[in-house]
Amino acid sequence: MKKWMQGIALVYVLLLLGICVPRADSGNAQNDAGEALYLIRPKDKKEEAEKKLEQPKIALTFDDGPNAQFTPFLLDGLKERNVKATFFLIGKNIEAGSNAEIVKREWEEGHLVGNHTYNHVEITRVSNDTAYREIKATNDLIQGITGQPVEYMRPPFGLWQKKLEQKIHVLPVMWTVDPLDWATENEDEIVNKVVTEVEENDIILLHDCYKSSVRAALRIVDLLEAKGYQFVTVDELLLE
């Protein structure tokens, strides 16, 4: 009886330690006969969530799309990496071809979609009425696709007219890291400039209408994630 009780006690201890539970769960390691050898502890979701909160956040943004040739390739790469970005769209590009489907995909895959005017105009060089129409036209196009009002915009050339905020409710979004990717096809140059300059809470400016920029963007994601950065949409940075 004493030995039997000792055996029961040993099994109980092993169960508590999680090192010997011969079950048929698919998550258990098995021997050649298919018998479970031990129980794999589930990951601590709370610990993972806390770790993610501690990661420095940065935002990856793309102007001048959608582009029928390069934006889908970019979306494929971001989806593969489970990374969300922010896209500031030009109205006339949304209306080109079947680009509206690209906008729909951006939205459905969890990216933030914003306004970049209809014709990529410098809104400080046109009348307030013209600037308003430029913004509203693109807002209407985006909302017609996503079903949601547009809350963010990037004014072309980074020049904003404060008086417009009295007529249309969008928050202008600038940037802090600009590799001038539109001026070069050298991927390494784009990547190096971003990776060496970026810091926590930075907003990176790129364009999804150039092959070199899109390819560089995915390399940037891989390199910065390896450094511990977490990519978020700009609203997550601005609303903190």
Which residues are catalytic, by number? Answer: 63, 207
| Distance (Å, whole) CA 122 – CA 75 | 28
Q: Checking DSSP bridges between strand 36-38 and strand 29-30, what pairing results, if any?
A: antiparallel
Contact 75, 223 (CB under 8 A): no
The phi, psi pair for 74, rounded to 5°, reads -65, -45
| Distance (Å, whole) CA 55 – CA 230 | 6
The phi, psi pair for 86, rounded to 5°, reads -120, 130
Bridge partner list, 206? 62
- Rg of the chain over all Cα atoms, to the nearest angstrom: 25
Contact 70, 49 (CB under 8 A): no
| Distance (Å, whole) CA 204 – CA 175 | 6
